[in-house]
Amino acid sequence: MCRACPSRRWLLGALAAVPLAACSENVETGRNQLILVDDGQLAGLADQAWSDLRGKTPLLRDPEAQARVGRVGAGIAKATGRTDLDWGYAVFDSPDVNAFVLPNGKVAVFRGLLDAVRSDDELAAVMGHEAGHVVARHAAERVSQQLAVQAGVSLAQILLSEQAGENADEIAGALGMGAMYGVILPYSRKHELEADVLGLTLMEKAGHEPRAAVAFWERRIAEAKGQPNVPEVLSTHPADATRLARLREAVQTSPSASGGRG
């Protein structure tokens, strides 16, 4: 076995030190996270992304709908305690049954979602989920994981270049695929489940009924029955059955489970 050159030894040491230097506990999730980027960096990128979205995607011309989303969203935002963020909401004129959040607290809701929810409680379930991503710092964790994977693959490529020769790129590519299916995608599915559970807590703090989240997803899953699905192992999101089971379990353990609301 050949001895690594000083530069390679330095790279190995630096890469090994990164997780120790950047690992911190998130009080919202109760687990450690690898964070290599700060919230300020992501917020700047998110500001630009939000500006681009508003410039390219038409807003829904319905003041009542915009006000409704803003009202429900404001309650969820207050429940997060993240007063450092400039939370903002917009309903875009698209049939997609979807919503997403940026790490700067800007939430996009599509017209299709408003058509799909049957109450403010169901809307709060979706918006609570999106806010859950923010308080859990999922965006920072995802970017950090991707940076770490890229650094690891690049380092492997350097270390393999002499021994593997022309096969180094193929081996590095295989390592990258392994990281994608072994780290990136599993964590993405974990993030979605965490956001679901955090969303239940946030919507309840904001005065909404957590069981509405279960009702919404039960209906959405029933409507999608028979449609082709990507296998869970290849998806960024957990399987519908996994997601629904976790939601039901979390609702059963929520403070309002015993008596509900009148």
Supply the pLDDT for residue 156.
58
Judge whether 122 and 134 are in contact, CB under 8 Å. no
Active-site annotation holds for 141: no
Judge whether 253 and 226 are in contact, CB under 8 Å. no
Please check whether residue 187 lies inside any domain of the structure. Answer: yes
Burial 20-52 (b: 16+ CB within 10 A, else e): eeeeeebebbeeebbbbbebeebbeebeeebee
Element (H, E) at 154: helix 138-164
Supply the pLDDT for residue 57.
93
Please check whether residue 6 lies inside any domain of the structure. Answer: no
Supply the pLDDT for residue 76.
98
Please check whether residue 9 lies inside any domain of the structure. Answer: no
Please check whether residue 262 lies inside any domain of the structure. Answer: no
Q: Provide φ and ψ at 218, rounded to 5°.
A: -60, -45
State whether residue 230 is helix, strand or coil: coil
Q: CA 121, CA 118: separation in Å to the nearest integer? A: 8
Domain containing residue 78: 26-252
**Segment-wise mean pLDDT, segments of 10 residues, the chain, 262 residues:** 43 45 75 84 90 94 98 98 95 96 96 97 98 94 83 62 55 52 70 96 97 96 80 76 94 69 45
Please check whether residue 258 lies inside any domain of the structure. Answer: no
Please check whether residue 224 lies inside any domain of the structure. Answer: yes
Q: How many domains, the chain?
A: 1
Please check whether residue 1 lies inside any domain of the structure. Answer: no
Supply the pLDDT for residue 182.
57
Q: CA 234, CA 182: separation in Å to the nearest integer? A: 10
> What are the beta bridge partners of residue 100?
108
> Which residue among the candidates 122, 130, 194, 209 is catalytic per the annotation?
130
Supply the pLDDT for residue 177.
58
3-state secondary structure 30-72: CEEEECCCCHHHHHHHHHHHHHHHHHHCCECCCHHHHHHHHHH
Sign of CA dihedral 93, 53, 201, 248: positive
Burial class (CB in 10 A: 0-12, 13-18, 19+), 12: middle
3-state secondary structure 88-108: EEEEECCCCCCEEECCCCEEE
pTM over 0.75: yes
Please check whether residue 155 lies inside any domain of the structure. Answer: yes
Supply the pLDDT for residue 14.
43
